[in-house]
Amino acid sequence: MKKKLEIILIKLFQNRIIPKKFFNNTVFQDINFLDFLISIYEEGKAAISMREMHNIYKLTEQTHKIDGDIAEVGVYKGGSAKVIAEFKGDKKLHLFDTFEGMPEVDASIDKHKKGDFWDTSLDSVKSYLSNYKEIYFYKGYFPASLAGTNCHALNFSFVNLDVDIYESTKSSLEFFYGRVNRGGVILSHDYRSISCPGVKKAFDEFFLEKPEPIIELWDSQCLIVKM
Ligand SMILES: C[S@@+](CC[C@H](N)C(=O)[O-])C[C@H]1O[C@@H](n2cnc3c(N)ncnc32)[C@H](O)[C@@H]1O
Protein backbone atom coordinates (compact mmCIF):
# COMPACT_ATOMS: atom_id res chain seq x y z
CA MET A 1 0.00 0.00 0.00
CA LYS A 2 2.77 2.44 1.02
CA LYS A 3 4.65 1.65 -2.21
CA LYS A 4 1.50 2.28 -4.30
CA LEU A 5 1.08 5.64 -2.59
CA GLU A 6 4.65 6.57 -3.51
CA ILE A 7 3.98 5.72 -7.16
CA ILE A 8 0.70 7.68 -7.15
CA LEU A 9 2.47 10.67 -5.61
CA ILE A 10 5.23 10.66 -8.21
CA LYS A 11 2.69 10.31 -11.03
CA LEU A 12 0.57 13.15 -9.66
CA PHE A 13 3.61 15.38 -9.70
CA GLN A 14 4.69 14.18 -13.14
CA ASN A 15 1.25 14.86 -14.58
CA ARG A 16 1.11 18.29 -12.93
CA ILE A 17 -2.09 17.39 -11.05
CA ILE A 18 -0.64 18.78 -7.84
CA PRO A 19 -0.65 22.65 -7.72
CA LYS A 20 2.15 24.49 -9.50
CA LYS A 21 3.68 25.93 -6.33
CA PHE A 22 4.84 22.42 -5.42
CA PHE A 23 6.97 22.31 -8.58
CA ASN A 24 9.15 25.23 -7.66
CA ASN A 25 12.19 22.96 -7.31
CA THR A 26 14.25 20.79 -9.60
CA VAL A 27 13.23 17.52 -7.93
CA PHE A 28 10.05 17.19 -9.96
CA GLN A 29 11.66 18.39 -13.18
CA ASP A 30 14.06 15.45 -12.98
CA ILE A 31 11.79 13.28 -15.11
CA ASN A 32 14.45 10.66 -15.88
CA PHE A 33 15.01 10.01 -12.18
CA LEU A 34 11.27 9.93 -11.43
CA ASP A 35 10.67 7.42 -14.23
CA PHE A 36 13.58 5.30 -12.98
CA LEU A 37 12.21 5.47 -9.44
CA ILE A 38 8.74 4.36 -10.51
CA SER A 39 10.28 1.36 -12.29
CA ILE A 40 11.94 0.25 -9.03
CA TYR A 41 8.66 0.55 -7.11
CA GLU A 42 6.81 -1.31 -9.86
CA GLU A 43 9.45 -4.06 -9.82
CA GLY A 44 8.58 -4.49 -6.11
CA LYS A 45 12.16 -3.90 -4.97
CA ALA A 46 11.80 -0.63 -3.07
CA ALA A 47 11.85 -0.78 0.73
CA ILE A 48 12.14 2.98 1.37
CA SER A 49 10.34 6.20 0.38
CA MET A 50 10.92 8.23 -2.77
CA ARG A 51 12.43 11.04 -0.67
CA GLU A 52 14.99 8.63 0.75
CA MET A 53 15.68 7.12 -2.68
CA HIS A 54 16.21 10.65 -3.95
CA ASN A 55 18.76 11.35 -1.20
CA ILE A 56 20.67 8.20 -2.13
CA TYR A 57 20.62 9.21 -5.81
CA LYS A 58 21.88 12.74 -5.12
CA LEU A 59 24.56 11.63 -2.66
CA THR A 60 25.79 9.02 -5.14
CA GLU A 61 26.21 11.77 -7.76
CA GLN A 62 27.51 14.45 -5.40
CA THR A 63 30.27 12.24 -4.00
CA HIS A 64 31.64 11.38 -7.48
CA LYS A 65 34.45 13.87 -6.94
CA ILE A 66 35.59 12.19 -3.72
CA ASP A 67 38.09 9.37 -4.23
CA GLY A 68 37.06 5.89 -3.17
CA ASP A 69 34.53 3.14 -3.66
CA ILE A 70 30.88 2.97 -2.63
CA ALA A 71 29.41 0.46 -0.16
CA GLU A 72 25.99 -0.50 1.07
CA VAL A 73 25.31 -2.64 4.13
CA GLY A 74 21.67 -3.78 4.11
CA VAL A 75 20.72 -4.60 0.53
CA TYR A 76 17.62 -6.83 0.88
CA LYS A 77 16.09 -7.08 -2.65
CA GLY A 78 18.46 -4.52 -4.15
CA GLY A 79 16.14 -1.49 -4.51
CA SER A 80 18.44 1.16 -3.03
CA ALA A 81 21.49 -0.64 -4.48
CA LYS A 82 19.98 -0.23 -7.95
CA VAL A 83 19.72 3.54 -7.45
CA ILE A 84 23.40 3.64 -6.48
CA ALA A 85 24.36 1.33 -9.36
CA GLU A 86 22.51 3.49 -11.89
CA PHE A 87 24.23 6.73 -10.86
CA LYS A 88 27.64 5.60 -9.59
CA GLY A 89 29.52 6.07 -12.86
CA ASP A 90 32.72 3.99 -12.95
CA LYS A 91 32.97 3.55 -9.19
CA LYS A 92 33.00 0.14 -7.54
CA LEU A 93 29.96 -0.75 -5.44
CA HIS A 94 30.39 -3.25 -2.57
CA LEU A 95 27.14 -4.82 -1.32
CA PHE A 96 26.90 -6.55 2.09
CA ASP A 97 23.93 -8.56 3.33
CA THR A 98 23.06 -11.97 4.71
CA PHE A 99 20.67 -12.15 1.72
CA GLU A 100 18.54 -14.39 3.94
CA GLY A 101 17.10 -12.01 6.53
CA MET A 102 18.03 -10.18 9.70
CA PRO A 103 20.66 -11.74 11.95
CA GLU A 104 20.31 -12.07 15.75
CA VAL A 105 19.02 -8.87 17.33
CA ASP A 106 19.42 -7.44 20.82
CA ALA A 107 15.85 -7.61 22.09
CA SER A 108 16.65 -5.09 24.83
CA ILE A 109 17.26 -2.45 22.12
CA ASP A 110 15.93 -3.60 18.74
CA LYS A 111 12.35 -4.07 17.61
CA HIS A 112 13.15 -6.17 14.54
CA LYS A 113 13.38 -9.95 14.83
CA LYS A 114 15.84 -12.48 13.47
CA GLY A 115 14.70 -13.52 9.99
CA ASP A 116 12.86 -10.30 9.06
CA PHE A 117 13.47 -9.55 5.35
CA TRP A 118 14.00 -13.28 4.66
CA ASP A 119 12.31 -13.13 1.22
CA THR A 120 15.35 -12.41 -0.90
CA SER A 121 18.46 -14.25 -2.10
CA LEU A 122 21.93 -13.50 -3.38
CA ASP A 123 21.05 -14.96 -6.79
CA SER A 124 17.94 -12.82 -7.20
CA VAL A 125 19.82 -9.61 -6.31
CA LYS A 126 22.72 -10.55 -8.60
CA SER A 127 20.25 -11.09 -11.40
CA TYR A 128 18.42 -7.81 -10.62
CA LEU A 129 21.67 -5.84 -10.87
CA SER A 130 23.22 -7.86 -13.68
CA ASN A 131 23.26 -4.96 -16.17
CA TYR A 132 25.66 -2.97 -13.99
CA LYS A 133 29.45 -3.23 -13.89
CA GLU A 134 31.82 -3.22 -10.90
CA ILE A 135 29.34 -4.60 -8.35
CA TYR A 136 30.81 -6.85 -5.64
CA PHE A 137 28.67 -9.03 -3.36
CA TYR A 138 29.53 -10.17 0.17
CA LYS A 139 27.02 -12.66 1.51
CA GLY A 140 26.90 -13.31 5.25
CA TYR A 141 26.86 -11.62 8.60
CA PHE A 142 28.66 -8.27 8.57
CA PRO A 143 31.41 -7.80 9.79
CA ALA A 144 32.28 -11.54 9.66
CA SER A 145 31.67 -11.40 5.89
CA LEU A 146 34.75 -9.17 5.56
CA ALA A 147 37.03 -12.12 6.36
CA GLY A 148 39.15 -13.18 3.40
CA THR A 149 38.20 -10.11 1.33
CA ASN A 150 40.39 -7.14 0.38
CA CYS A 151 37.90 -4.68 1.89
CA HIS A 152 40.22 -3.69 4.74
CA ALA A 153 42.50 -2.05 2.17
CA LEU A 154 39.73 0.02 0.54
CA ASN A 155 38.71 3.64 0.94
CA PHE A 156 35.22 4.94 0.35
CA SER A 157 33.47 8.05 -0.93
CA PHE A 158 29.94 7.06 -0.02
CA VAL A 159 28.52 4.43 2.35
CA ASN A 160 24.81 3.70 2.62
CA LEU A 161 23.76 1.87 5.80
CA ASP A 162 20.33 0.26 6.06
CA VAL A 163 20.65 -2.47 8.68
CA ASP A 164 17.87 -1.52 11.13
CA ILE A 165 19.54 -2.75 14.33
CA TYR A 166 22.09 -1.63 16.91
CA GLU A 167 24.95 -4.11 16.54
CA SER A 168 24.98 -4.02 12.73
CA THR A 169 24.98 -0.21 12.71
CA LYS A 170 27.74 -0.08 15.33
CA SER A 171 29.99 -2.55 13.51
CA SER A 172 29.39 -0.80 10.17
CA LEU A 173 30.41 2.57 11.65
CA GLU A 174 33.46 0.99 13.27
CA PHE A 175 34.59 -0.47 9.95
CA PHE A 176 33.74 2.32 7.51
CA TYR A 177 34.33 5.56 9.45
CA GLY A 178 38.13 5.39 9.25
CA ARG A 179 38.00 4.32 5.60
CA VAL A 180 35.76 7.13 4.31
CA ASN A 181 37.81 9.86 2.64
CA ARG A 182 37.52 13.50 3.69
CA GLY A 183 34.34 14.96 2.18
CA GLY A 184 32.85 11.49 1.78
CA VAL A 185 29.45 10.66 3.24
CA ILE A 186 27.97 7.98 5.48
CA LEU A 187 24.19 7.92 5.07
CA SER A 188 21.93 5.75 7.19
CA HIS A 189 18.32 4.80 6.90
CA ASP A 190 16.19 4.59 10.07
CA TYR A 191 18.07 7.03 12.32
CA ARG A 192 14.68 8.62 12.95
CA SER A 193 12.54 5.45 12.76
CA ILE A 194 10.54 4.64 15.84
CA SER A 195 10.80 0.96 14.89
CA CYS A 196 14.63 1.02 14.76
CA PRO A 197 15.89 2.70 17.97
CA GLY A 198 19.21 0.83 17.77
CA VAL A 199 20.29 2.82 14.71
CA LYS A 200 20.06 6.16 16.52
CA LYS A 201 21.68 4.73 19.65
CA ALA A 202 24.65 3.38 17.66
CA PHE A 203 25.14 6.68 15.76
CA ASP A 204 24.77 8.88 18.84
CA GLU A 205 27.29 6.79 20.80
CA PHE A 206 29.77 6.55 17.93
CA PHE A 207 29.76 10.26 17.02
CA LEU A 208 29.69 11.58 20.60
CA GLU A 209 33.45 12.19 20.57
CA LYS A 210 33.82 12.70 16.80
CA PRO A 211 33.90 16.11 15.07
CA GLU A 212 31.18 15.37 12.51
CA PRO A 213 27.64 16.52 13.32
CA ILE A 214 24.87 13.99 12.65
CA ILE A 215 22.58 15.65 10.10
CA GLU A 216 18.97 14.43 10.27
CA LEU A 217 16.96 14.19 7.04
CA TRP A 218 13.33 13.69 6.10
CA ASP A 219 12.03 10.85 6.30
CA SER A 220 14.18 8.70 8.55
CA GLN A 221 17.74 9.09 7.31
CA CYS A 222 20.75 10.82 8.79
CA LEU A 223 24.14 11.54 7.29
CA ILE A 224 27.61 12.63 8.26
CA VAL A 225 30.18 14.27 6.01
CA LYS A 226 33.66 13.03 6.93
CA MET A 227 35.98 15.79 8.12
C1 LIG B 1 15.61 -2.86 5.43
S2 LIG B 1 16.57 -4.07 4.66
C3 LIG B 1 17.52 -3.15 3.48
C4 LIG B 1 16.67 -2.46 2.41
C5 LIG B 1 17.42 -1.92 1.22
N6 LIG B 1 18.49 -1.01 1.61
C7 LIG B 1 16.49 -1.20 0.28
O8 LIG B 1 16.25 0.01 0.46
O9 LIG B 1 15.96 -1.81 -0.65
C10 LIG B 1 17.74 -4.47 5.91
C11 LIG B 1 18.73 -5.53 5.51
O12 LIG B 1 19.83 -5.49 6.43
C13 LIG B 1 20.41 -6.79 6.48
N14 LIG B 1 21.30 -6.86 7.64
C15 LIG B 1 21.10 -6.32 8.87
N16 LIG B 1 22.17 -6.55 9.67
C17 LIG B 1 23.06 -7.24 8.92
C18 LIG B 1 24.37 -7.77 9.17
N19 LIG B 1 24.99 -7.60 10.36
N20 LIG B 1 25.00 -8.43 8.18
C21 LIG B 1 24.41 -8.59 6.97
N22 LIG B 1 23.17 -8.12 6.66
C23 LIG B 1 22.51 -7.45 7.63
C24 LIG B 1 19.20 -7.71 6.49
O25 LIG B 1 19.55 -8.99 6.04
C26 LIG B 1 18.23 -6.97 5.55
O27 LIG B 1 18.29 -7.51 4.24
Q: What is the pLDDT of residues 109-162, one digit of tens each?
A: 999 999 999 999 999 999 999 999 999 999 999 999 999 999 999 999 999 999
What pLDDT score was predicted for residue 16? 65
Q: Where are the domains of the chain?
A: 1-44, 48-225
Question: Cα(186) to centroid of ligand 1, in Å?
Answer: 16
Which ranges of the chain would DSSP assign to H, the alpha helix? 2-14, 31-42, 50-62, 79-87, 122-128, 166-176, 197-207
Question: Cα(72) to centroid of ligand 1, in Å?
Answer: 9
- Evaluate: CB of 122 within 6 angstroms of ligand 1: no
| Ligand 1 atom with the shortest distance to the CA of 189 | 6
Q: Closest by alpha carbon to 188, among 37, 80, 38, 41? A: 80
Q: Which CATH architecture has domain 48-225?
A: 3-Layer(aba) Sandwich (3.40)
Residue 135: C-alpha distances to residues 51, 95, 109, 169 (Å): 24, 7, 33, 22
Q: What is the percent of the chain with per-residue pLDDT over 70, rounded to a whole number?
A: 94
- Evaluate: CB of 53 within 6 angstroms of ligand 1: no
Q: Taking 90 as the threshold, does the pLDDT of residue 216 lie above it?
A: yes
Question: Cα(134) to centroid of ligand 1, in Å?
Answer: 20
| Ligand 1 atom with the shortest distance to the CA of 76 | 27
Question: Cα(156) to centroid of ligand 1, in Å?
Answer: 19
DSSP letter at 227 equals: -
